[in-house]
Amino acid sequence: MTTDYIPSYLNPNDLGPWGQYLQQVDRVAPHLGSLSRWVETLKRPKRILTVDVPIERDDGTIAHYEGYRVQHNLSRGPGKGGVRFHQDVTLSEVMALSAWMSVKNAAVNVPYGGAKGGIRVDPATLSKGELQRLTRRYTSEISMLIGPTKDIPAPDVNTNEQVMAWMMDSYAMIEGNLSTGVVTGKPVSLGGSLGRREATGRGVFVVGQEAAARRGVALAGARVAIQGFGNVGGTAATIFADAGAKIVAVQDHTGTIVRDGGLDVAQLHKHVAEAGGVQGFPGADATLDRDAFWDIESDILIPAALERQITAEVAARLRTKIILEGANGPTTPEADDILADKDVLVVPDVLANAGGVTVSYFEWVQDFSSFFWTEDEINARLTRIMQSAFGAVWDVAQEKKVSLRTATFIVACTRILQAREVRGLYP
Ligand SMILES: NC(=O)C1=CN([C@@H]2O[C@H](COP(=O)(O)OP(=O)(O)OC[C@H]3O[C@@H](n4cnc5c(N)ncnc54)[C@H](O)[C@@H]3O)[C@@H](O)[C@H]2O)C=CC1
Ligand SMILES: O=C(O)CCC(=O)C(=O)O
């Protein structure tokens, strides 16, 4: 049984990304058999913390930012999920991102629940010193929730290895010991894992290979369009180009560039490092209006930026065969239906971008054992896990005649709710 429970702290007229997640849960509920009596668990985050994060700016003024950490579900293990710094972060968004982490972690069967954090801030407006003070104050404000066996943050949009190092250090100062396992995505010099930086993009590529093989698309010469050229999109571009694909279009927050014969990805990385974005790349044929990105014909489209980019209107226009969701939540449920009608194969976020958290899991295991693996070992294990998760989801999708998204939710929510059921409720 599901209910229409709306938390009192959200706007009932616009639930935002959380509403998108709830619609996805509604689609899986009929497939959960006797576990469906627990489905309400998935619709209520276990724990939400909103914090005020004050910092002293370089000019001596005091600025306040709103921060969150949401633990959606802890049935299968400690919370796990990244921290986002972005001017559009909202509680609804962090709730949805935490729930997608629960589903993702269960889909690839790593022993974690789902959590996510964020601060509503445009980090481009802060100096490096201000960013460090913001990160440290935020870590202090959420320190009662996090810990190596409680909840383990990691990078997400606009956070990186340096931010993770500051988080780890702040937590170590509070705890009085070196707790490398409190965050993942750390620098390798501080207990980070080889391969974590590239892991999400690499995982997108692995599921891309699987999807392309099933759709009869050859990767050599395939036309690939990518939205977002950061950690996920930038790495995916490199790996797809190395496999012979043509990266025909890239869009980021600065602009949209195209080259029909394929962009030189290595040169584009250099340009982005210097210019801060793809706009102005001399190796492009043309620069397009933002909205024209969706009209570019491709074999594979990789949204790797933010949520709710592929709306119903965009889905109707798209000319592609396969969508690999590097970003979290890029496709609305209405768009999902249109894409299904158009026979576009969508590999959902909770599967396609699970490579990052999978190598975060490897990092956490390595930190606990203080024994570090080679990059080849890490990439081989990552590939095995992603291939096996894709195969299991594919089989469920075929058997139940549902989308890969619903199939992933079936696999994952079954694992979450089985754990919930067997643990029981009463103290
Ligand atoms: N970093 C990770 O390991 C993981 C990230 N993700 C998801 O992947 C997505 C991207 O994350 P990262 O690459 O880590 O972030 P990032 O901060 O490294 O890069 C974000 C990219 O998105 C672009 N972007 C921002 N706003 C845009 C807009 N309005 N239109 C077009 N492009 C825009 C930026 O210019 C940048 O290229 C997010 O949805 C994130 O949640 C998912 C799994 C793991
Ligand atoms: O590496 C992790 O722990 C989580 C990464 C993340 O935030 C995500 O998969 O969306």
Q: Are residues 154 and 229 in the same domain?
A: no
Domain of 219, in residue numbers: 197-352
Q: Are residues 125 and 229 in the same domain?
A: no
Q: What is the mean pLDDT of the chain?
A: 97
Q: Are residues 50 and 165 in the same domain?
A: yes
For residue 405, the CA-to-ligand 2 centroid distance in Å is 18
Instruction: Please state the pTM of the whole predicted model.
Output: 0.97
Question: Among the three residues 352, 369, 396, which one is the final residue of a domain in this structure?
Answer: 352
Question: Among the three residues 128, 148, 177, which one is the final residue of a domain in this structure?
Answer: 177
Q: Are residues 206 and 335 in the same domain?
A: yes
- Residue 405 gets the label, from left (phi > 0), alpha (psi -120 to 50) or beta, of alpha
For residue 309, the CA-to-ligand 1 centroid distance in Å is 12
On the question of pLDDT at 341 being above 70, the answer is yes
Answer whether residue 369 is part of any domain. Answer: no
Q: Which of 231, 360, 382 to mutate to test ligand 2, by most ligand atoms within 8 A of the CB atom?
A: 360
Q: Are residues 254 and 309 in the same domain?
A: yes
Answer whether residue 230 is part of any domain. Answer: yes
Q: How many domains in the chain?
A: 2
Whether 90 and 106 have beta carbons less than 8 Å apart is answered as no
Question: Among the three residues 352, 373, 401, which one is the final residue of a domain in this structure?
Answer: 352
Answer whether residue 392 is part of any domain. Answer: no
Residue 60, C-beta contacts closer than 8 angstroms, at least 6 positions apart:
none
For residue 74, the CA-to-ligand 1 centroid distance in Å is 26
**pLDDT tens-place string over residues 141-176:** 999 999 999 999 999 999 999 999 999 999 999 999
pLDDT, residue 231, reads 96
Residue-by-residue DSSP string for 154-172: -B-TT--HHHHHHHHHHHH
Q: Which atom of ligand 1 is nearest to the CA of 84?
A: 41
The dihedral sign for the CA sequence 274, 277, 280, 281: positive
Answer whether residue 25 is part of any domain. Answer: no
CA angle 229, 126, 272 (to 5 degrees): 25
Answer whether residue 39 is part of any domain. Answer: no
Q: Whose CA is nearest to atom 18 of ligand 1?
A: 230
Q: Are residues 211 and 334 in the same domain?
A: yes
Strands 223-227 and 62-73 come out as unpaired
Q: Are residues 316 and 209 in the same domain?
A: yes
Q: Are residues 342 and 208 in the same domain?
A: yes
Q: Are residues 148 and 294 in the same domain?
A: no
Q: Whose CA is nearest to atom 1 of ligand 2?
A: 357
**pLDDT tens-place string over residues 230-286:** 999 999 999 999 999 999 999 999 999 999 999 999 999 999 999 999 999 999 998
On the question of pLDDT at 7 being above 90, the answer is no
Answer whether residue 65 is part of any domain. Answer: yes
CATH number of the domain bearing residue 156? 3.40.50.10860
Which pair of tokens denotes residue 90? 């909202």
Q: Is 298 in the pocket of ligand 2 (CB under 6 A)?
A: no
Mean per-residue pLDDT, 111-127: 98
pLDDT, residue 3, reads 52
Mean per-residue pLDDT, 406-419: 98
Q: Which atom of ligand 2 is nearest to the CA of 185?
A: 1
Known catalytic residues are 116
Q: Are residues 341 and 213 in the same domain?
A: yes
Q: Are residues 150 and 120 in the same domain?
A: yes
**pLDDT tens-place string over residues 48-105:** 999 999 999 999 999 999 999 999 999 999 999 999 999 999 999 999 999 999 999 9
Q: Are residues 132 and 209 in the same domain?
A: no
Q: Is 325 in the pocket of ligand 2 (CB under 6 A)?
A: no
Q: Is 408 in the pocket of ligand 1 (CB under 6 A)?
A: no
On the question of pLDDT at 36 being above 70, the answer is yes
Distance, in Å, from the CA atom of 274 to the CA atom of 254, rounded to the nearest integer, reads 13
Q: Is 156 in the pocket of ligand 2 (CB under 6 A)?
A: yes
Q: Is 253 in the pocket of ligand 1 (CB under 6 A)?
A: yes
